[in-house]
Structure 1
């Protein structure tokens, strides 16, 4: 008989509530759910939002020949027993590791996947990151790699070559105000992460982090139901953030990540209360250092209910086919972003939000100038906002330059709404179109 997990997972996501005579506020609820119900909800949530269902693929139905099991090393998979040692023992065996159907493996310290490792299931097994003392209880007062990426700050460390993770749930038992990362890919190459569903996180530089790595694929996966309303702001305010996927938030020996493929993922409901001077800091995908990402593709992702959908500091990145929405800025280009193509995306800012913003160098250095950006064939829906579709900084040193805007369709509520702010010296505009969102009337320019 399969073990039955009867524990509960707190705070599956963020909700909006309105108290009597009070302004609406974002809060992380205290509703509870068991693991099986949460997993079923996650699958439904993903299926309703995924952009390319045909690209998702399917899990293996049974354990492949030659794969090891955690049970062979003493795991119980009952969601109660601490299976950390058994899981790591299986991963260290040199064989692929297969998680049993429907089992819940609780673990309390970082697991490491080295070169050649494979971790998978039939799509129904769960790795449960234990909260509280003795588990993933990482509290960070200042930004430092030793603290952020510690034994109790990272669930799965991926480090080496030819590593695969697929078809499982990675669930964090919720505890607000804890800096905990789900998967940390560091100094790695030829990594594939597919059909993984992550939820239950609060503060994190990235629920998934990729650092100084090459040829990493993260695809057909779900990051959702993660939230913070933590009141104790760290002394280092830059640490106060929650991000779905973060690339090169820190680097190993200064090396930048290249040739990443972030494809067909759903990142939704990753929220925080805007408590700091920077206000809300929740991102979908963040290329977090200037010049990173050469040869990378960000394609066909669904990103919604975040402050910023894409925050790009990188270079040589192709962004296409995504469905993007946000409450702050949908797509931000800043801090040295260059040689980026943004094409064929659906972009929808919320009320009072911005669609695409390109910023001057900050600090004002030539190496941090945004340049050589192509924005083409996107559909930008401005019906819910009075903001322009594309806003380029016009004042300051090292302004964005070499910007091409062509064949974009702007859906507006009123034809008099402005859609682009950019100087002729900075931008080339070709065949952009303004259309009434309701009725499809083409507006005269």
Structure 2
């Protein structure tokens, strides 16, 4: 049985640039005082931007942003609706607060981009910002000659990214990213940021975040990998220009990923590292080349055949809830690695490829898989799979799982479950046998391996139907992990 494991190094990218120090001398620029009756806005046209799609407007847009920051109070910046502003390099601003950058449907078109070290430059970068809104702006790389990010916020507090559209940049579309996060895995600096109503298409990574209280809600991420020239050349490769849809990276705490549509990604739809207090809810993830949702508690990986990580290099994901998601036609749909306190409930998973629907993988403890609907079209792999401890030929012990409960799931599969003997399983579908390798199948019977989750008899939330109308069930037989009968328990609340 081949389990689903992570095949690449954790994504930790250096996306923040240096800032020149400014001395505390009288050479600082004089603030621009707002004139009486000023409406608090600066248009990029006021600083000479043409917006004709041909003129290089990079310096003119930078001048407008600098002027807005220098104003007292700081002004907001607007782009005229529908215009295309050609840019050739990075536009950046630091120390901006209580203002809006309003795109009004205008486009920043990266054309003839200046050379940059891979992923270091960003079309629009905001650092040390507070209570800033960026809305209704399109960022597009028209020729993809250089590796740029689209929009990046670093050290951001109480900010909103709304209705931003990023197309075809060769690294990350939208980022809220502090580099590096604290070395012990504690939260990064950015906090209280909302990313909503945005569209990211054709990028290497769609939306990437670390920080506290980051909400990624109601966005659309589409890499369209299957229709790319890269896909036509053959299987996905590690040098791909198309990776994960939504990344929640090391240092994140109290992150919500909800109500997004994610499709055709080069790797995972939602990929997370050693994060804390994560909710992944009500997303639709389809057609991804690797996982639908992957929780990867490892922060450091070793490139080895068995992917074994020394104890000193391990971190974990803590407090993960995956609920109400729809996952269709991904290569492996929900995969959990090195995570603690995980709840997977109420998801709909349809797997058409050679993998499992839900895998509780190595190093995971205290996981509950409850009330999911799993349709498994692969007859050779379990719909729900729990990894046992494994000893390699050289004696290395690969961690399995601990304290896993599987209950009340609706499974449509020829091969329902694979679970080691200490997994708690409450089940009422399948064919009545338990194989010696821990595969659990049951029709008309309720069976448990190792432990029975019981409360005064049969357990909680299970049902048993009588074989003929008008009859009642008086007792239920219980079996151990080897299929041996443990006797009968009475049923006092009969179901006819």
Shorter chain as denominator, the TM-score bin is: 0.5 to 0.7
The answer to whether structure 1 residue 261 and structure 2 residue 225 are counterparts is no
Question: Is the contact made by 2:103 and 2:138 (CA closer than 8 Å) also made in structure 1?
Answer: no
Aligned to 1:234: none
- Once the two structures are superposed, residues 358-414 of structure 1 have per-residue CA deviations (whole angstroms, 9 ceiling, x without a partner) of 22xxxxxxxxx42111111000112x12421112335xxxx1111110011112347
Question: Is the contact made by 2:320 and 2:343 (CA closer than 8 Å) also made in structure 1?
Answer: yes
Question: Is the contact made by 2:106 and 2:137 (CA closer than 8 Å) also made in structure 1?
Answer: yes
Aligned to 1:374: 343
Aligned to 1:187: 155
Question: What is the 5 A alignment of 1:289-308?
Answer: 289=250, 292-306=251-265, 307-308=267-268
Question: Is the contact made by 2:353 and 2:378 (CA closer than 8 Å) also made in structure 1?
Answer: no
Match for residue 129 of structure 1 among 98, 110, 125: 110
Question: Is the contact made by 1:266 and 1:301 (CA closer than 8 Å) also made in structure 2?
Answer: yes
User: What is the Cα deviation at residue 65 of structure 1?
Assistant: 4.3
Aligned to 2:410: 433
Aligned to 1:319: 280
2:327 & 2:49 partners in 1: Cα distance? Answer: 46
Aligned to 1:283: 244
User: What is the Cα deviation at residue 415 of structure 1?
Assistant: 8.1
1:414 & 1:328 partners in 2: Cα distance? Answer: 16
* Cα distance change of structure 1 residues 129 and 415 upon mapping to structure 2, 3 Å threshold: closer
User: What is the Cα deviation at residue 343 of structure 1?
Assistant: 0.4
Aligned to 1:209: 175
User: What is the Cα deviation at residue 318 of structure 1?
Assistant: 0.8
The answer to whether structure 1 residue 156 and structure 2 residue 124 are counterparts is yes
Aligned CA RMSD, in angstroms, stands at: 2.5
Number of residue pairs aligned between Structure 1 and Structure 2: 320
2:156 & 2:361 partners in 1: Cα distance? Answer: 37
User: What is the Cα deviation at residue 220 of structure 1?
Assistant: 0.6
Aligned to 2:369: 405
Aligned to 2:317: 337
Aligned to 2:41: 67
The answer to whether structure 1 residue 419 and structure 2 residue 383 are counterparts is yes
279-288 or 324-333, which moves further after superposition?
Answer: 279-288
Aligned to 1:393: 361
Question: What is the 5 A alignment of 1:219-238?
Answer: 219-226=196-203
- Structure 2, unaligned runs of 5 or more: 1-37, 69-73, 179-189, 299-315, 389-400, 415-427, 431-441, 443-496
Question: Secondary structure of 2:97's match?
Answer: coil
Larger-gyration structure (1/2): 2
Aligned to 1:90: 64
User: What is the Cα deviation at residue 278 of structure 1?
Assistant: 7.7
User: What is the Cα deviation at residue 200 of structure 1?
Assistant: 1.9
Match for residue 309 of structure 1 among 269, 286, 311: 269
1:115 & 1:302 partners in 2: Cα distance? Answer: 31
Question: Is the contact made by 2:156 and 2:191 (CA closer than 8 Å) also made in structure 1?
Answer: yes
* Cα distance change of structure 1 residues 295 and 414 upon mapping to structure 2, 3 Å threshold: closer
Aligned to 1:247: 209
User: What is the Cα deviation at residue 109 of structure 1?
Assistant: 2.6
Question: Is the contact made by 2:223 and 2:242 (CA closer than 8 Å) also made in structure 1?
Answer: no
* Cα distance change of structure 1 residues 112 and 387 upon mapping to structure 2, 3 Å threshold: same
- Structure 1, unaligned runs of 5 or more: 1-63, 141-147, 227-241, 249-256, 360-368
1:431 & 1:155 partners in 2: Cα distance? Answer: 49
Match for residue 218 of structure 1 among 195, 206, 210: 195
User: What is the Cα deviation at residue 331 of structure 1?
Assistant: 1.1
209-218 or 409-418, which moves further after superposition?
Answer: 409-418
Question: Secondary structure of 1:72's match?
Answer: helix
- Once the two structures are superposed, residues 169-223 of structure 1 have per-residue CA deviations (whole angstroms, 9 ceiling, x without a partner) of 11112225x3210011111111101111110222x1x222212311111111100
* Cα distance change of structure 1 residues 116 and 85 upon mapping to structure 2, 3 Å threshold: farther
Aligned to 1:38: none
* Cα distance change of structure 1 residues 412 and 275 upon mapping to structure 2, 3 Å threshold: closer
Question: Secondary structure of 1:156's match?
Answer: strand
The answer to whether structure 1 residue 107 and structure 2 residue 87 are counterparts is yes
Question: Is the contact made by 1:406 and 1:431 (CA closer than 8 Å) also made in structure 2?
Answer: yes
2:323 & 2:165 partners in 1: Cα distance? Answer: 27
167-176 or 155-164, which moves further after superposition?
Answer: 167-176
User: What is the Cα deviation at residue 115 of structure 1?
Assistant: 2.1
User: What is the Cα deviation at residue 280 of structure 1?
Assistant: 8.0
Q: TM-score, normalised by structure 2?
A: 0.60
Question: Is the contact made by 1:243 and 1:270 (CA closer than 8 Å) also made in structure 2?
Answer: no
1:419 & 1:129 partners in 2: Cα distance? Answer: 45
